[in-house]
Structure 1
Amino acid sequence: MRSTRNTYLVLFHILLFSLLSLKITASPRTQADALIRWKNTFSFQPSSLASWSLTNINNLCNWTSIVCDSAGTVSEINLSGENITGVLTEFNFTEFGTLTRFDLSTNNIEGIIPSDIARLTELEYLNLFNNYFNGTVPLQLSNLQKVWYLDLGANLLESPDWSNFSAMPSLQHLSLDLNELHLEFPSFVLNCRNLTYLDLSLNKLTGQIPELVFTNLGKLQYLNLTENQFHGPLSTNISKLSNLVQLRFASNKLGGPIPEDIGLLSDLQLLELFNNSFSGKIPTSLGQLKKLQILDLRPQYLKFDHTL
């Protein structure tokens, strides 16, 4: 009896493992149906999406804004600038596990970003820039571990509890600018060590700029924190952001001296620190920035050093 029972247990675990390992892929027909149903919820349907039709349902890979993979299932949806008016909650995420690129930028899409977006497990590029999304940024976005490009800028999004977010190791480009973010610096960002582009400008973020920004994010080439409410001194570890090309910290409440080590950012082309409360002398090390094209320090309580 014991031997029979063990055999059944082994067979059960093999079956269970097989079921868990099975990747259910939507068919082109069900994906086409899902896209048409979503389109039918738009209060304005652009003529450019006329190909999204039941009369053309077997021709999915030739639809406007759709790209298919070798299996004939949807890999990219690019609806940027199509003047769509609708909501994302009507999109059937379950049918699009094969999607790698999703671009809805510059439309009139409103409402929340649904938590079901986490079903897009193959997604690498997500652009929701310049819409009317509101509510908090859903923590499920951080489950999209293959995403390298994420743009949620120019919406009406608010800060969630960032401590519930996972690090996104593939993330290289992150834009959260021009939203309603408040509280302190988004903590999950500090562990996204492959970031080269970070824009948190035009929000209501407060507190000090975390030291880990300077010590963990050494691959950054573009860093923009303009028009927030960050305060405190600028870290002397700023020199560790040695790949920076553009640094924008304007219109905050930063104070104290500008660190002399800022002159070690040898690739810097643009430096904007205006409209803060920096004091002391302008660092002579700025003269070492041979690639610098734009320097804006106005207005400050800085003294000009004629030896600069």
Structure 2
Amino acid sequence: MVQPKILFYATIVLLVCMSNATSTPQELALLQWKASLADANSLSSWSPEGNSTCCSWFGVTCDAAGHVVELSLPGAGLSGKLDAFDFAASPNLTKLNLKNSSLVGAIPYCLCKLPSIAWLDLGSNYLTNPDYSRLSPMPALEYMSVSRNKLNGAFPQFILSCTNLIFLDLSKNAFNGPIPDLLAKMTPNLVHLNLSSNRFSGTIPISLAQLSKLLELRLRSNIFSGGFPEMLTTMYTLQVFTLGNNSLSGSIPMGIGNLTSLQVLGLTNNNFTGPLPMSIGKMKHLRAFHLFNNNLNGAIPPAVGNMTALQQLFLGNNNLNGTIPPEIGNMTALQQLDLRNNQLEGEVPATITLLQNLNYLALGTNRFTGTIPLDLGRRQTHNLIGLANNSFSGELPQGLFYIRSARSKQQ
């Protein structure tokens, strides 16, 4: 039986011999890497035969001089390693996109030798840690994603030398320890920072507030502790801010209302206490507000009625009390409202029937009394309504009966 290593080198020799006299080092490097892959069916156009150059091959882009400047193969179904790729043969490479394949092994440290690389996406593979001791600064790098791999250990310090980074995604790995305080100072141009679904811990550094261009800050599903840093409420450019699934505690600062550009605010599954700040009504661009499963108390502020762009409001599994403010009827974009498992009381305001886009309403396990607004039963847009474990009186609106019957037939 021919040993796999012998077969591998024999294939490379054969490809080199087939190459015509004008084959360039960058073409030979691509062919060598293809030969090393266990699954390269999508690279059938990569062939030394004919008069075409590698510039016409699938996923390869060249400049006017014929230099390979982009290798973009997202979702190409490649299976194998990167260490057989001679990146030195493509010194003009500016973009490498190999996300969503089945690449394994360590990320090659020689990627740092590419002087012009600006876009690096190796996400959704099975790659492991590079030899960090051999990594060098990548000053041209602007976009870096290694999400959904098998990386672990402390925050990679070499990232602090990538001073022109705009987009950084380390999510869905097993990184741990604190976020470096120097991150904001060393990468001041960050617009997107995603560290979600790791094991980062400690307090959230207030130095992140220095990232004056940041639009998205995603820190959910880690082990962060401590309070909500007040300084982060000065990040006026933020549009997405997710802190859910951590161990954060304390009150939500009144300054949260200063984040008037926010579209998504996720604080679910923490230990936040105290009331909802009245200032939330200033976040008029907010589309999703998730505070499910905390320890909030007090009343729902009438200012929620000012959040007219809101589509999702999840306040379930808290200790909120008082009544639902009638101003909720002003939230005409609302599609999902979850207030279950609180201590809310009184009647459900009739203004809730003004929410014409509402398709999910969860009011179960509270202390509501009175009748259910009749117009709730006349709506055709409800996919799910939960009203159990309250003290409603009167008849169930007929339309709600039909909704329940329709759902039971589907199960």
TM class by shorter-chain length? Answer: 0.7 to 0.9
Contact 1:209 1:230 in 2 (8 A): yes
- Using the TM superposition, give the Cα deviation of residue 163 of structure 1 relative to its aligned residue in structure 2, in angstroms: 4.3
Q: Percent identity?
A: 31
* Corresponding letter in the other structure for 1:205: F
Distance 2:282 2:96 in 1: 43
What is the TM-score normalised by the length of structure 2? 0.65
Structure 1 CA distance, aligned partners of 2:55 and 2:181? 40
- Are the counterparts in 2 of residues 29 and 58 from structure 1 also a CA contact under 8 Å? no
Is the counterpart of residue 298 in structure 1 residue 273 in structure 2? no
Q: Which residue number corresponds to residue 109 of structure 2?
A: 115
Alignment of 1:75-114 (within 5 A): 75-114=69-108
Structural mapping, 1:277-296, within 5 Å: 277-296=271-290
Q: Does 1:193 align with 2:188?
A: yes
User: Contact 2:169–2:193 at 8 Å: present in 1 too?
Assistant: yes
For residues 196 and 37 of structure 2, the distance between their equivalents in structure 1, rounded to whole angstroms, comes to: 31
SS in 2 for 1:268: coil
Q: CA deviation at 1:245?
A: 0.7
Q: 1:29 aligned to 4, 7, 24, which one?
A: 24
DSSP 3-state at the match of 1:279? strand
Letter in 1 for 2:298: F
Supply the distance in 2 between the matched residues of 1:149 and 1:57 (Cα, whole angstroms): 35
On the 8 A contact 1:254/1:277 being kept in 2, the answer is: yes
Secondary structure at the residue paired with 2:174?
coil
| In 2: Cα distance, 1:156 partner to 1:112 partner | 9
Query: Per-residue deviation at 1:280?
Result: 1.1
Equivalent residue number for residue 130 of structure 1 = 124
CA 1:66–1:188 in 2, change beyond 3 Å: closer, same or farther?
A: farther
Deviation at 1:196, TM superposition (A): 0.7
Checking the alignment, whether the CA contact within 8 Å between 1:227 and 1:251 is kept in structure 2 is yes
Aligned to 1:18: none
2:161 to 147, 162, 167: 167
Structure 1 pair 126–275 and aligned structure 2 pair: CA distance change class (3 A): same
Partner of 2:46: 52
- Per the TM alignment, residue 234 of structure 1 is displaced from its structure 2 partner at its CA by 1.0
Q: Structure 1 residues 70, 135: CA separation in 2 closer, same or farther (over 3 Å shift)?
A: same
Quote the Cα distance in structure 2 between the aligned partners of 1:218 and 1:143.
Answer: 23
Secondary structure of the structure 1 residue equivalent to 2:160:
coil
Match of 1:213 in 2: 208
Indicate if the aligned counterparts of 1:167 and 1:188 stay in contact, CA closer than 8 A.
no
Q: What is the one-letter code of the residue matched to 1:169?
A: T
Query: Which structure has the higher relative contact order (CA within 8 Å, separation 6+)?
Result: 1
Unaligned ranges ≥5, structure 1: 1-26
Q: Which residue of 2 aligns with 1:231?
A: 225
Q: Kindly indicate whether the alpha-carbon contact (under 8 Å) linking 2:154 and 2:177 is maintained by their aligned counterparts in 1.
A: no
Deviation at 1:100, TM superposition (A): 0.5
The residue aligned with 1:151 is 145
**Unpaired segments ≥5 residues, structure 2:** 1-21, 303-411
Contact 1:223 1:247 in 2 (8 A): yes
SS in structure 2 of the partner of residue 206 of structure 1: strand
> How far, CA to CA, are the matches of 2:133 and 2:212 in structure 1?
25
How much does 1:72 deviate? 0.5
Structure-2 separation of matches of 1:263 and 1:120: 44
Query: What does 1:234-249 correspond to in 2, within 5 Å?
Result: 234-249=228-243
Asked if 1 retains the 8 angstrom alpha-carbon contact of 2:108 and 2:130, the reply is: no
Letter in 2 for 1:234: F
Secondary structure at 1:40 match in 2 = helix
Query: Per the alignment, do residues 239 and 148 of structure 1 end up closer, same or farther by CA in structure 2, a change over 3 Å counting?
Result: same
Q: Tell me the CA shift for residue 58 of structure 1.
A: 4.7
SS of 1:91's equivalent in the other structure is: coil
Distance 1:157 1:270, change over 3 A: same
Residue 8 of structure 1 aligns with which residue? none
Q: Is the 8 A contact 1:136 1:159 kept in 2?
A: no
The offset of 1:125, in angstroms, is 0.6
Q: Distance in 2 between matches of 1:162 and 1:105?
A: 20
The question of whether the paired residues in 1 share the 8 Å contact of 2:155 and 2:179 is answered with: no
Take 1:223 and 1:95, find their aligned partners in 2: how far apart are those partners? 37
TM normalised by structure 1 equals: 0.86
Total equivalences in the alignment: 280
Task: Give the 3-state SS of the residue equivalent to 1:182 in structure 2.
Answer: strand
Residue 244 of structure 1 aligns with an amino acid whose one-letter code is L
